[in-house]
Structure 1
Amino acid sequence: MYRVYYCLTVEHDLGLVAVAALLCALSGLAAMSIVRRAREADRARQPAWLLFAGFVTGTGIWGTHFVSMLAYESVVPIAFGLLETVISLALAIIVSACGWAFAIRSETRFAAPIGGALVGGGIAAMHFMGIEAMRTNAIFTWDAGLIIAAIVLAIQFSAAASTVAMGKSLKPSLIGGTLLLVCGVVSLHFISMGAMQLVPDMTVAEPEGGLSPKLLAVTVALGVVFVVSVGLATAAIDLHLGKRRMAEGARMRALAEATFEGIAVVRDGQMYDMNGRFCEMLNLAREDLVGTPIMKLAVDPEDIRVLQLDQDDAPTTCRLRCRDRAPITVQVRARVMDFDGQSSRIFTFRDVSSEERARARITHLAHHDTLTGLPNRLKFREALEAELSSAWDNDSQVALMFFDLDRFKEVNDVHGHATGDRLLVAVSERLLDALPRNAVAARLSGDEFAVILPDVDSREDGLNTARRVVNNVGSPLSIGSLHLKVSASGGVTMFPLDGEDPDRLMNQADLALYRAKGQGRNQVCDFDPKLGMMMQERRMLEADLALAIEDDLLTLNYQPQVRLGDGSIAGFEALVRWHDDRRGAVAPAEFVQIAEETGLILKMGEWVLETACREAVNWPNDRRVAVNVSPAQFKQGNLVYSVQRALTNSGLDPARLEIEITEGVLIDDEARALKVLRGLKDLGVGLAIDDFGTGYSSLSYLRAFPFDKIKIDRSFITGLQNDQEAQIIVRATIALARDLNIAVVVEGVEEFDELGALGYQPDLVLQGYLLSRPLTRGLISGFDEASKAIRAEMATLVASARPLRQRSA
């Protein structure tokens, strides 16, 4: 090492050595700056930056070498060969460029130190090629140990410089890399110069024609200054531009991250970059996506085709795979544009899965019942037309069935619509359980269901399936704490036996259903052509009844009620009548039933109540008018308000009005019934149970509800004189009512023998054809005189308490 120290301090001009060191440091700093820029550049522009880095590095090393050579004070004259000098410069540039290229572009684990070592080898090669360029009349002797040490140190320092230069922090990598590179150049030059000794050889002439030291010094100085200036300027400008690019890139990435759309940059079919929203959409990390072929995200070949298209502002829909969840539907746009200096395909993805689900939901709701999930009328009609078309082509039969629940309206009225809805859901499930897989079931409206059964062999097969549905629906079921027993009716028609038009078939199935309900419900009937005419007449009757109610074409008749003890007239029961211009007198049993089934009974009942009160106000004050209220009025209408309004409008004393109800309205909801009855009692009107003894009669009603009167049904009175059991029941009922201080009306007495069979009952009120048939309004005023004889005879019979010969009114 002493030889190296001696060479540096004695054989070199330390001033020029300092200049060489400064040039080496400046050129090293420029080289490190350009190397870092080359590392950060995209791969398309990296070769240009690597060549520039090699040029700056090689020129700086070469300049440092030759300035140091000029600082060497040799005992013999020295000149330099032009060719060798140029080769040494080219060698330094090429090897340095190759070393930096390997360090930056290689994907091996130790690319940086290996590339740096290659640069160190270039420094050594350049140095010894420069020595080869020396022209002198001396013999070169070398210390092999120092030569090896110089080369090893140059390679190690250069490898370390490359490793540090590839670091993430800017200043430490620049300063550290520069110092290490300078150490490699300086250690190589001065150790190798210390290993060299020149021994004068007088047999060799002094060199001629070589480059003069002064010229070489000027050339080298200018060259190094120029390269360093360009390198440093380039590094400074690029640093400034790099910061601007980084700021712009950060701004653009912030914008990309802020958008609600996913963005992906694709090059050569692989994803190069993407924003965070795209990663969120796929539930994948950026590391999972970068470098992955975008086609791997496609779900099926159609989606691959969409991602391969060169689209331009034309949105297309496809599906993409996600991690650990179902694929998402996206609206994708693609555009080819420059990104980081390379042509790339920029994809934008908008997640439309929620919109697609919403559209599917809307479509489903448009074709399905929201409560049961079954197809609705629109979807059912489409399915029916499709099945009929298929059956026509295949020469097969289709059964069309209509079902509805019996007395479903009562469930809604008594237990509420929530219970009714739960019942419909349960019925739809039972309906599906009873049907084969190829059947199509739908809910048309309310409690009306329909079924299409394709490929039916015969009408009997369709009827058997319908019976199975009715039986399945009719099984007892529980809804919460309620235990319900429901039943259903069904109608069946066949394609093409009964018809081919969908509308006609649906009408025929409806007619068959109507026939089933008319036969006692819980039945299944098939279509009969005669039903068409019957149904048409019913529809016309419904329409005409609605017009009759609207145009006030109904009338009231009044059936008298007489006290048997003294034969005085107690009052009249109002009975509605309808005389149609085309049909004549329509039986009350016929049109009242239609009114109840169609809901017209509410409006008709209010009319009866208003009219009866208005006409009764002109009667003598001791006579009452009885108005029968239908179950529908009692359950649905505001009965208390209707009665109060009728009394107010007519001016009738409430005590002269008697409201008659049937026992059936008390069964379903006793609490509600009691509330209504008490409301009527508060108005001051009388209350009577009509048709007592039929249906669901319970003596407990007489105790639980505030009734003033009971009416014994005519079914107990007809033929009473010949029915000992009926006499016992009637007399017991009368005795019970008397003990409870409840008045009794006996309905349907048509013969004196029936009256006589009642025995001595002076406090009874009689109503029946024996006394009189119902009277029109105009006959009421003369009824006292016209009925005087029959009333006297009835009173005499009761007083004698013995049967008379049979007479009729």
Structure 2
Amino acid sequence: MVCLISAYACVSLLRHAHKATGRTRHLWTGVAALAVGFGIWATHFVAVLAFRPGYTFAYDLLLTAASLAIAIGLCGLGIAMAIRGTNRWDHFLGGAVVGVAISSMHYTGIAALVMGGTIAWNAPMVGASIVGGMVLAGLAAVSAMGVGWRRLTLGAILLTLAICVMHFTAMGAANFDRCFPLSADGELNGGWLALAVAFVSMLILGAAFGSVVLDETDRRRTERERAREAADAVRLSEVSARLELAMTHMSQGLALYDAEGILRLHNRRLPAMLGLDPAQDLTGLSFREVCRLTIIGPGGTEAADTEERVEQALSQHLPLISGQGGDIQHSFGDGRTLRINHSPIGDGSWVSTTDDITERQRTEAAIFHLAHHDGLTGLPNREQFNERFDMALQAASAGDDNVAVIAIDLDRFKEVNDGYGHAAGDQVLKTLAERLTHGLKDGELVARLGGDEFAAIKSFVSMDALRDFLARIETALFTRVSIGDTTVGTGGSIGVAIYPEDGAERSKLLSNADLAMYRAKAEFDRHICYYEREMDEHARQRREMAKDIWTALEQDAFYLVYQVQKSVATNEITGYEVLLRWDRPGHGLVSPADFVPVAEECGAIGAIGAWVLKMACLDAASWPEPHKVAVNISGLQLSQVDLIETVRAALLRSGLSPKRLELEVTETSIIADKNRALHILRQVKAMGVSIAIDDFGTGYSSLDTLRSFPFDKIKIDRSFMNEVEVNEQSKAIVRAILALGRSLHVPVLAEGVETTAQLEVLRAEGCTEAQGFLLGRPGAIDWNDALEPTLRTSAG
């Protein structure tokens, strides 16, 4: 019974594995292997437990387990070969491997018997047992791969016979007369083996039950498929009726013409879409007659050109009908637009569908307008500007006209947004757009490229025409704008580049116009600036410098020098200010005033500032005396929250005490974004780092800035020291700053002290600290002098 049940489970699961794919096939193959492997093993040991040679057997544990593993492994291999086979011989070969598994398991199981003596084997019967098992198992696999329950049952019976024939023939080939009972370590007694066999038998019953459930599921699935086919036939009939209903109520006009061009079928929507009476039956009319009725319209009165229009329509439609098909759009006098599509069937007949695309065209036109115009002002956007610019250049190259491109950037527009709100800013932009486009002539275009950036094109022959256009633009920009009860002053910077003198292609001309516009923005005495070649050279030089700055960063070509800071009263060293130097290859020493603005433009100032801070802290940490080191922070650095981590990292890496680091910031850099700057400075000051306000007196000199943040030092700009000893006005300003420092309990340092007289004035006025060429020029610090370090002065 165990053998029969396991055989049935095996062939049933083998079928399921053959139908499955991917991981599911591997799963069913494994389950089938387990079912038949356990079945062979259980069949063998049930029989061995029933075998009575006159004494009780014991069983070697390892060999008993090995026999089970062999049965499962080889059966899995045979089953996998059978289900992947493409013909009967492949299936037979896979079943034969299962037969080999039966023989291998049996003889391993016999070897697991623990007993003395030797078993006498009948070689021919041993061979017959192996061959018999392989042949019957191969036939079982061939039968199981067939269709129907009969082939399934036959396969199970043949596999049962394979197992039984092999076992009983093999037992008949064995003679146990010369064997006797024997005990050994690691043996398994009959009781435990009986429990194992019982457990395996339960597993086999479970597998068989599962295979029966699967077979029943397959049978029910087949019945459901047949029922579905019957339901599909009913549904098809219903769909045919619904199709006729849908055709009647579909939004398109539908028409079927035969090979002679006669209308054989149409829906009710077609006459209405063609502008005819919806109740009119067009069946039986030719395509020409349908075209005529559509052109004549519902009134039915022919015009003088009716025939000509009919022939024109036929010349458009007939090539599509006789060819591969396609669609044509027709616009009518009442504003309707129809799209008619012809689809040839192949026998000369065709199907025509008619769509009303009036609303779609309106929507597409609106989308096209939005894609080519600015949403706020209605001016052409950058895409349309570039298209029109290219067209103007092509026309100019073919004729004698010149083309001017004008870059326009509004001045102080951010102040309008900040002071009156973005709604007011939008109103200003719309008003300026209306003024700029008012009275435009042929060859003139004004576009908004984004934000407060505009551009214009002017095709002209004489410069007077260009000057007139520029004058109109300037008037539009500099006329005050009324916003409710408020009047806002506006203005702009205008740059002009002319084709072909200033460039031959669009990008070059736009770039040159931008250069001219930035020149106009930098100059206070004019608002319109024409491009000059020197501007391009200046921009080229700045680009080359930017490239060299990045190279210098990569090659570590920057270096630091230090300028001493001393107490005015005692002449003692109070600290050093670090200064950045760059010996640019091929150009010599470059002033920071020249290369720092370029570094800010190209984005290198952050990396340079971090390097300066790191190296200054490392140098200061190596000094034998605990003097302070002062490091300048640029406005761009102060606008970035990363400055906090940069300072922290420099202190941690160098081991420098935060009390020995002083950061110098200008009031201008704080005003740019006061809240952000003060937040960052508070975070840095919380570490213990000192904060000094640099160049005080040259910027806003706002007392609110000093009130908003507790600075640790005020630095008087060097410009006030030039004539402080002889100019009473300069002396009064210095005296006022010193008094302000004393009242706020903030020490004051004067920069640019170059004469003894200047130092004496500072001492008399009670200045705290000073620095300048009189006290020490910038250079590298030499600590060899035990009394006072000296500076090895650097050039520049």
* TM interval, short-chain normalised: 0.5 to 0.7
Number of the residue aligned with 1:222: none
Q: What corresponds to 1:608 in structure 2? A: 612
Which residue identity is paired with 2:341? Answer: V
8 A Cα contact 1:403 1:490, kept in partner: yes
**1:581 Cα offset (Å):** 0.9
Q: Which amino acid aligns with 2:244?
A: R
Which AA in structure 1 matches 2:534? Answer: K
What aligned pairs does 1:171-570 form with structure 2 within 5 A after superposition? 250-256=241-247, 261-263=252-254, 274=267, 286=278, 293-295=293-295, 309-310=317-318, 311-312=320-321, 314-319=325-330, 327=336, 330=339, 332-333=341-342, 347-350=352-355, 375=380, 379-405=384-410, 431-432=436-437, 438-442=443-447, 448-458=453-463, 461-463=465-467, 465-466=469-470, 468-469=472-473, 472-473=476-477, 488-498=492-502, 500-502=504-506, 504-520=508-524, 523-570=527-574
Tell me which of 693, 696, 699 is aligned to 2:700. 696
Quick check: 1:628–1:660 contact (8 Å CA) kept in 2? yes
Counterpart AA for 1:314: G
Deviations 1:755-786 (A, max 9, x none): 2223425551112222122223x547769736
> How many angstroms does 1:483 deviate by?
9.8
Q: Could you say which residue in structure 2 is the equivalent of 1:723?
A: 727
**SS of structure 1 residue aligned to 2:731:** helix
Give structure 1 stretches of 5+ with no counterpart: 1-245, 789-808
Distance 1:427 1:314 in 2: 52
Please report how far the alpha carbon of residue 665 of structure 1 lies from its aligned counterpart in structure 2 after TM superposition: 3.3
Residue identity matched to 1:395 = D
Shift of 1:632: 1.9
Where 1:722 maps in the other structure, the secondary structure is coil
**1:741 alignment counterpart:** 745
Against the structure 1 CA distance between its residues 507 and 703, is the aligned structure 2 distance closer, same or farther, given a 3 Å change threshold? closer
Matched residue type, 1:455: F
Contact 2:559 2:581 in 1 (8 A): yes
How far the C-alpha of 1:371 sits from its partner, in A, is 7.4
| Match in the other structure for 2:788 | 785
Match of residue 767 from structure 1: 771
Give the alignment's Cα RMSD to 1 decimal: 5.0
| Alpha-carbon separation, structure 2, partners of 1:640 and 1:521 | 41
Larger radius of gyration: 1
How far is the alpha carbon of 1:525 from its aligned partner? 1.4
Q: 1:652 offset after TM fit, Å?
A: 2.3
Deviation at 1:705, TM superposition (A): 1.7
Render the CA deviation track for 1:28-57: whole Å, top value 9, x for unaligned: xxxxxxxxxxxxxxxxxxxxxxxxxxxxxx
Give per-residue Cα distances to partners, 1:143-173, cap 9 Å, x unaligned. xxxxxxxxxxxxxxxxxxxxxxxxxxxxxxx
Shift in Å, 1:580:
0.8
Aligned with 1:567: secondary structure?
A: coil
Q: Counterpart amino acid of 1:332?
A: N
CA contact (8 A) 1:257 1:277 kept: no
Work out whether residues 252 and 269 of structure 2, in 8 Å CA contact, stay in contact via their aligned partners in 1: no
Q: CA deviation at 1:450?
A: 3.0
Question: After the TM superposition, which of the residue ranges 580-589 and 408-417 deviates more from structure 2?
Answer: 408-417
Aligned-partner Cα distance in 2 for 1:713–1:544: 30
1:641 maps to 2:645: yes
Superposed CA offset, 1:430-457 (max 9, x none): 6545965642234557765432111252
Q: Distance in 1 between matches of 2:421 and 2:621?
A: 38
- State the distance in 2 between where 1:635 and 1:707 align: 18
Distance 1:251 1:367, change over 3 A: closer
Q: Could you say which residue in structure 2 is the equivalent of 1:705?
A: 709
Is structure 2 residue 673 aligned with structure 1 residue 682?
Answer: no
What is the identity, as a one-letter code, of the residue corresponding to 1:785?
E
CA distance in 1, matches of 2:758, 2:362: 75
Kindly state the Cα deviation for residue 372 of structure 1 after the two structures are TM-superposed: 6.4
SS in 2 for 1:574: strand
Q: CA deviation at 1:543?
A: 1.9
Shift of 1:332: 2.6
The separation in 1 between residues aligned to 2:311 and 2:624, in whole angstroms, is 95
Q: How far apart are residue 426 of structure 1 and its match? A: 7.3
Give the alignment's TM-score, normalised by structure 1: 0.55
Residues 516, 684 of structure 1: alpha-carbon distance in 2 compared, 3 angstrom cutoff = same
CA distance in 2, matches of 1:434, 1:558: 63
Q: 1:457 to 1:631 in 2, by over 3 A?
A: same
* Cα offset, 1:671, TM superposition: 3.0
Preserved contact between residue 564 and residue 764 of structure 1 (Cα < 8 Å): yes
Q: Does 1:654 align with 2:658?
A: yes
> How many Å apart are 1:347 and its aligned residue?
2.9
CA contact (8 A) 2:495 2:515 kept: yes
The aligned counterpart of 1:583 is 587
Q: Evaluate the alpha carbon distance shift between residue 359 and residue 304 of structure 1 in structure 2; reply closer, same or farther with a 3 A threshold.
A: farther
Q: Is the 8 A contact 2:735 2:765 kept in 1?
A: no
After superposition, the Cα gap between the structure-2 partners of 1:334 and 1:610, relative to the gap in structure 1 and judged at 3 Å, is same
Deviations 1:541-596, CA, capped at 9 Å, x for gaps: 22222322343322222222111122122222222221111111112111112223
Distance 2:786 2:426 in 1: 53
Q: Which amino acid aligns with 1:643?
A: V
Residues 380 and 447, structure 2, Cα contact 8 Å, conserved in 1: yes
The one-letter code matched in structure 2 to 1:294 is T
Q: Distance in 1 between matches of 2:553 and 2:485?
A: 42
The 8 Å contact of residues 271 and 293 in structure 1, kept in 2 or not, is answered as: no
* Alignment check: 8 A CA contact 1:402 1:509 kept: yes
- Asked whether the equivalents of residues 612 and 625 of structure 1 are also in contact (C-alpha less than 8 Å), the reply is yes
Q: Which residue does the alignment assign to 2:147?
A: none
Uncovered stretches (5+) of structure 2, i.e. residues with no partner? 1-236, 283-289, 299-305
Distance in 2, matches of 1:680 and 1:747, equals: 24
CA distance in structure 1 between the partners assigned to 2:775 and 2:352 by the alignment: 97
Structure 1 residues 673, 503: closer, same or farther in 2, change over 3 A?
closer
Distance 2:735 2:776 in 1: 24
Shift of 1:370: 7.1
- Counterpart of 1:593, as a letter, is P
Instruction: Write the distance in 1 (CA, Å) between the matches of 2:268 and 2:247.
Output: 6
Separation of aligned partners in 1, 2:580 and 2:720:
24
TM-superposed deviation, 1:294:
3.4
Does the 8 A contact of 1:270 with 1:293 survive in 2?
A: no
Alpha carbons 2:569, 2:763 under 8 Å: kept? no
User: Matched residues, percent identical?
Assistant: 38
Identify if the C-alpha distance between structure 1 residues 496 and 671 changes in structure 2 by more than 3 Å, giving closer, same or farther.
closer
Aligned AA for 1:274?
Answer: N
**Change over 3 Å in CA distance of 1:456–1:548 after alignment to 2:** farther
Distance 1:285 1:614 in 2: 94
